[in-house]
Homo-oligomer: A and B are copies of this chain.
Amino acid sequence: MIQITKANGKAEIELLAALRQRSGEVDKQVSATVSQIIEEVKDAGDCAVRKYTEKFDGSCPEKFEIDREEINDALTNADQAFVDAMLSAIENISAFHNRQKQQSFLDTQENGVIMGQRIRGLARVGIYVPGGTAAYPSSVLMNAIPAKIAGVKEIIMVTPPMKNGAANPDILVAAALAGVDRIFLMGGAQAAAAMAFGTESVPKVDKIVGPGNIFVATAKKLLYGVVDIDMIAGPSEILVMADSTANPKYLAADMMSQAEHDALASSILLTTDENIARETVKEIERQIEGLSRKQIIEKSLANYGAVIVCRDDQEMIDLANELAPEHLEVMTANPMEYIGKLDNAGSVFLGQYSPEPLGDYYAGPNHVLPTGGTARFFSPLGVDSFIKKSSFIYYTQDALREAHDDIVLIAEKEQLTAHANSIKVRF
C-alpha cells in the first residue's frame, strides 16, 4: 500500500511532480457549462437559479431562503453534546482569530500633514457550504468566525438541499451558532453566481468563500474580479516529520486521518529512523481495518502516500520546506525548536499530542489552508481575508509647497505633464 524509500534527490523530485500534477487544469467542458450558468443567473436572477436547481438537484424549494424558525428548530432539536462541542470550538477559534485583528492607523506630522490607513470589514460575505457527505459543520465555523471578527456587516450562506429537500440540520446549527445572518437553500455554480450578482432572493456579496465541487470551484474562478474569492483549495495534504522518539501508532493514525478525505489526498512521513518507518507502515496496516473509509485511505496512500527515510534533521527540514505542505506535524524530541526553521507550511502541529484533527476542529487556528505547495506564498484564511483597506492623505498648502519641486521633477521625468500641472496650478 505504501512504500519506504530513502531520500536520494530523485525520489523526492518524482514525488513533488506527482503531487503538483494533482491540481490539474480547469476542465474546458465544465468551464463552458459554468460560464453559461453564470450568464443566465446574471441576466435572469432567481428564475435561472430555479431552472438549474431543478435540472441538477431534481427539484427546487418553493422559497430559497430558510426561515429563522427552521434554523431555531434545528438548534432546539440538536444534541446538546454537539452544541456544547461546537461552542467550545467557537470559543477557541474566536480567541485565536481575535489576535489577528489589524487596527486602522493615523499619523500626524508637525507641519500639519495627516496620513493613515483605514481598515474595515467587507460589507457582505457569502459562504458556500457543500451538501452530501462533504457537509462539514466545522467548515461553517472556520469561514464565518473570521468574517465576523473582521467586522463584516452581513454574512450569508448557501447550501444545497439534502435528498429529503431540507437543509442539513448540523449545518444550520453551526451557522446559527457562528452568527450567519441569512441562509439560502441552493447549491452549485448557480448559487455562487447568485451571490456574485445578487438576485431577487439573494443579496449581492463582496466575497465568496468556502469549499465546493468542480462546478463551484470553476464558478468562483470565473467570478473572481466581480467579487473576491478565497483560495481554490486543492486536495488535502499532511507531512509528518518524526525522529526516533515518535510513536508509530500516532504517525500511522495521523497519516490516515488525512488520507480518508479523498483518494487524491497526500500523506507523507519523513523520518530519520528506519525502524520508525517500518513500524509506522505496520501500524497503518493494523489500524486501517477499523476505519470506515478504508478504501479511500488505501487508494490515497497507494497513489500519493510516501514514507521517506532521511539522513538527518536538516534533510527533513529542507524537504518539508520544498514540499510546502498544507499541514505539517513535527514529532521529534524538541518540536518547539522547529518553529523558526519551517518556512513553508499552512499550519504546523508540534509534538506528540497535537494531531491534525485538533486543528481541523478545535484548537483555534483556521483549517482553510494553502494546498499544493502554495504555502510558499499563500496564507491560511483569517481575519485579513475579510477586510479592505484605504489610505488617506491630507496635506496643507505649506506642506505641498515644500514638496512641489520634487513632485514636478518626477512627473516630468515620467513625461506626465498633466500630473505636474496639477501641482503647479496650486501655486
- A contact residues vs B (CB 8 Å cutoff): 23, 81-82, 84-86, 88-89, 95-96, 99-100, 102, 105, 107, 113-115, 117-118, 120, 122-123, 133, 136-138, 170, 206-207, 225, 227-228, 232, 249-250, 253-254, 256-257, 259-261, 287, 290-293, 297, 335-336, 339-340, 342-366, 372, 374-380, 382, 384, 387-397, 399-400, 403, 405-407, 409-411, 413-423, 425-426
Contact = CB atoms under 8 A, between A and B. Distances in A.
Contact of A410 (B138, B335, B348): B138
Given A86-B410, A356-B422, 7 more contacts: A82-B410, A115-B364, A351-B395, A357-B411, A361-B410, A362-B410, A377-B388
Given A122-B377, A362-B410, A425-B249, A397 B353 contact: yes
Of the candidates A170, A392, A396, A423, the one having the most CB atoms from chain B within 10 angstroms of its own CB is A392
Given A361-B410, A410-B89, A377 B227 contact: yes
9 contacts: A89-B406, A89-B410, A137-B410, A253-B421, A256-B421, A291-B418, A357-B416, A362-B403, A379-B387
Contacts of A351: 394-396
Nearest to A136: B414
B348 A392 contact: yes
Top 9 closest pairs, chain A to chain B, by CB:
A365-B391, A85-B406, A379-B389, A260-B418, A228-B377, A253-B422, A350-B394, A348-B392, A257-B422
Given A350-B393, A362-B403, A393-B358, A259 B418 contact: yes
A304 to B, nearest CB: 15
A339 B106 CA distance: 11
A260 B415 CA distance: 10
A99 B107 contact: yes
A257 B418 contact: yes
Contacts of A342: 390
A356 B351 CA distance: 53
Contact of A137 (B107, B347, B413, B426): B413
Contacts of A391: 96, 346-348, 359, 365-366, 380
A206 B390 contact: no
A291 B113 CA distance: 29
B390 A380 contact: yes
A395 to B, nearest CB: 5
A411 B357 CA distance: 8
A358 B170 contact: no
A257 B421 contact: yes
A355 B420 CA distance: 10
A341 to B, nearest CB: 11
B397 A352 contact: yes
Given A384-B384, A409-B82, A117 B394 contact: no
Contacts of A418: 253, 256-257, 259-260, 291, 293, 297
A77 to B, nearest CB: 14
Given A250-B426, A376-B388, A354 B393 contact: yes
Contact of A393 (B81, B347, B416, B426): B347
Contact of A416 (B105, B257, B349): B257
Nearest to A425: B253
Nearest to A254: B422
Contact of A81 (B347, B400, B409, B425): B409
Given A118-B339, A206-B377, A409-B85, A423 B392 contact: no
A392 to B, nearest CB: 4
A426 B352 contact: yes
A286 to B, nearest CB: 11
A372 B395 CA distance: 26
Contacts of A393: 347-350, 354, 358-359, 363-365
Of the candidates A102, A352, A413, A426, the one having the most CB atoms from chain B within 10 angstroms of its own CB is A413
A294 to B, nearest CB: 9
A335 B406 contact: no
